[in-house]
Amino acid sequence: MTNVVIALGNTEWEPQFISALGHPMLDISVQRRCLDAIDVRSAVRLLEVDAVILGDATLRVNEDCINDLRECNIQVIAISNDLHWWNSIGVMDVVSIEPTNLAASIQALASLLRNQTNTIVPPANLRRNLIAVTGFGGGSGRTTVARELSYVSATMSHQATVLVDADVVSPSLAIELDDDHFDRGLLQLARLAESRKLSDDTSRQFITPALERLDFVRGLPTVGRWKDLRSHALQELWRYLSQSFDVVIVDAGPVLDLDGSETAGGILPRRSACFLTSVDAATHVVVTCRADNVGISRLVRGYLDNEQLFADKEISVLLTHGSDLDKQAIHSIQRLTGIQSVAVAKSSTAFARATRDHSFASAFDRQTLDSFYAFLCETQNDHNAESGLTRQRSFLKGIRNSRAA
């Protein structure tokens, strides 16, 4: 039996993770759940402990704390996707976390505890090519950005792309693209996923071709139908679409409150299920924001209030309704949120024309096309994403530590 002390911080998946560790086949005994790294150091002095398990949301973790634990001959394991940061403070044993696939991470952790070796163990990941577009409040340009990104992905990058309207508050992509196939869309695909009948043969009748290499999944027929969606079915749907298309672009709707009636197993409906599962499955999250004082204030306040949701995500901010005078706004967002990837989508008459003609602004205006294509390429640049994510995590850790103090 391996005795462990665990401190994962305030994460949505922490209760499920710890509960699963208690399975008798894993031969792991959780001696104590701690609040932060200081609490961990106190626990190991009182208990017989073989290993300590920490996470990105664990407060007050620093190099001195790690050295103290190692001097006690205790193995320290991090549950994290930020290998570089943990290595920098002396933690060599890192298990990647996939909240939608906790079983893989738990098995990897159990194997690491048994072998007592320094190994980086990634879970079995699917292809990571899903971009979730969200924003704080209405009018941020979220739907327009999702629409234009899907167009440049299909026409400029020549990638098989699917655009999904997962906005349960105000689904409007079907109106903007003049799609009147009311018997197709997200609801029908989620039902297939829930009944485990989702396949290439069954799904095609519910996905609408929009352009060459661009397909469209319309949103809910009425906003009240969110009650028919289940988290586990949506998770399976994102997984299937990521396997079937080169790029999946989801209008995830506005950031919703993280409350609701959903259980840990995702059995009961939850209004935020579409938003949470799409962001959780995303490779990259694009947060849209109007380039004015109100929009930027909403972004900064909303991002810091929901930092746990975005802590492990590659994030870009796209300012909409912008101009050449927005350099000050870009610097403000970078300084106040730690997000380094901030761009501006300039105002253009092409957007009004696209709305009128039920089409894409990038099809009419070369400048709009080039700017969205450059932004899309940046979101898919692994080197930039890794560098930005490291700085973003360091910034959020500082915010958490200052709050704890």
What's the CATH number where 92 sits?
3.40.50.2300
The H-or-E segment that residue 86 falls in is helix 83-88
Residue 46 and residue 102 share a domain: yes
Whether residue 311 contacts residue 393, with contact meaning beta carbons closer than 8 Å, is answered with yes
Domain that holds residue 375: 130-404
C-alpha to C-alpha distance for 349 and 354, rounded to whole angstroms: 9
Lowest mean pLDDT of 30-34, 144-148, 259-263, 320-324, name the range: 259-263
Calculated CA dihedral for residues 280, 305, 17, 243, nearest 10 degrees: 0
Q: Is pLDDT at 399 greater than 70 in this prediction?
A: no
Whole-number average pLDDT of the chain: 83
What is the average per-residue pLDDT within 3-10?
91
- The pTM score is 0.65
Residue 213 and residue 137 share a domain: yes
Question: What pLDDT sits at residue 121?
Answer: 43
Angstrom distances, CA of residue 304 to CA of 35, 172, 395: 21, 28, 11
Residue 178 and residue 75 share a domain: no
Whether residue 347 contacts residue 365, with contact meaning beta carbons closer than 8 Å, is answered with no
Residue 101 and residue 187 share a domain: no
Contacts (Cβ under 8 Å, ≥6 apart) of 309: 255, 258, 276, 279
Question: What pLDDT sits at residue 71?
Answer: 81
C-alpha to C-alpha distance for 244 and 101, rounded to whole angstroms: 19
The H-or-E segment that residue 190 falls in is helix 186-194
Residue 157 and residue 78 share a domain: no
Whether residue 31 contacts residue 5, with contact meaning beta carbons closer than 8 Å, is answered with yes
Residue 55 and residue 102 share a domain: yes
Q: Is pLDDT at 325 greater than 60 in this prediction?
A: no
Residue 303 and residue 160 share a domain: yes
Residue 231 and residue 114 share a domain: no
Question: What pLDDT sits at residue 202?
Answer: 92
Q: Give the single-character DSSP code of 16.
A: H
C-alpha to C-alpha distance for 269 and 230, rounded to whole angstroms: 5
Residue 136 and residue 116 share a domain: no
Least Cα distance to 164 among 128, 183, 140, 190 occurs for 190
Q: Hunting for tokens 């039996």 — which residue is that?
A: 1
Whether residue 305 contacts residue 353, with contact meaning beta carbons closer than 8 Å, is answered with no
Q: Give the single-character DSSP code of 24.
A: G
**Beta strand pairing call for 247-254 and 314-322:** unpaired
Residue 238 and residue 217 share a domain: yes
Total residues belonging to the chain: 405
Lowest mean pLDDT of 94-108, 261-275, 375-389, name the range: 261-275
Domain containing residue 369: CATH number = 3.40.50.300
Residue 162 and residue 111 share a domain: no
Question: What pLDDT sits at residue 117?
Answer: 42
Whether residue 158 contacts residue 211, with contact meaning beta carbons closer than 8 Å, is answered with no
Residue 380 and residue 292 share a domain: yes
Question: What pLDDT sits at residue 204?
Answer: 92
Boundary of a domain, candidates 121, 147, 162: 121
Q: If DSSP codes are grouped into helix, strand and coil, which group holds residue 248?
A: strand
Boundary of a domain, candidates 60, 90, 121: 121
Domain total for the chain?
2
Boundary of a domain, candidates 121, 153, 183: 121
What is the average per-residue pLDDT within 28-32?
91
C-alpha to C-alpha distance for 236 and 391, rounded to whole angstroms: 31
Reported confidence tier of residue 113, pLDDT bands at 50, 70, 90? confident
Least Cα distance to 183 among 215, 210, 218 occurs for 218
